[in-house]
């Protein structure tokens, strides 16, 4: 018989935590942010598509309600960098706008902020059952003539 059978390797909780944190894929969430109407979607990808569709449609419809006067035609793709907090608050972090669009529609950022503020309640993304902050980019096509 050997006494080594009873030797126990001591591991600290910090070592276990470090090992567990290395197994996470920090670039992927378990559940994407969502609106309540997207809850009926079966898969994770369907709920993501539903969220993006509602968001894009809402922003586009909101911009179409405003009368925008321009001196020349605009065909541009705006790239919105959005952030959803752990509490479900959506904010515009950055906006990539062509110089012509910015010149013709100087209040484009305010118009986009207003449309974002009027969105229905957003449920934040989940990672291992915890609500987490997420950032993503959303292209919006602007066509004004």
pLDDT score for 5: 58
Query: pTM (2 decimals)?
Result: 0.73
Per-residue pLDDT tens digits for 97-142? 888 888 888 888 998 999 998 899 999 998 888 899 999 898 988 8
Per-residue pLDDT tens digits for 61-73? 888 887 777 778 8
- Residue ranges of domains in the chain: 29-144
Per-residue pLDDT tens digits for 28-61? 788 889 998 888 887 888 988 999 999 999 988 8
* The 134-144 sheet, strands edge to edge: 90-96, 74-84, 134-144
- The Cα–Cα gap between 15 and 38 comes to 39
Burial state string for 96-135 with b = 16 or more CB within 10 A and e = fewer than 16: ebeeebeebbeebeebbeebbeeeeebbbbbbeeebbebe
């Amino acid at each position: 018989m050997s006494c080594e059978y009873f030797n126990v390797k001591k591991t600290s909780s910090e070592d276990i935590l470090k090992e567990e944190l290395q197994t996470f894929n920090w670039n992927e969430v378990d559940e994407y942010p969502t609106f309540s109407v997207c809850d009926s979607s079966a898969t994770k990808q369907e709920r993501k598509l539903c969220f993006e569709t509602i968001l894009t449609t809402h922003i586009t419809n909101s911009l179409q309600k405003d009368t925008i006067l321009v001196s020349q035609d605009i065909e541009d793709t705006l790239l919105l960098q959005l952030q959803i907090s752990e509490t479900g608050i959506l904010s515009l972090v950055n906006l990539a706008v062509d110089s012509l669009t910015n010149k013709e529609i100087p209040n484009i950022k305010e118009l986009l902020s207003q449309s974002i503020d009027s969105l229905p309640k957003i449920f934040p993304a989940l990672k291992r059952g915890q609500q987490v902050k997420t950032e993503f980019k959303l292209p919006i096509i602007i066509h004004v003539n």
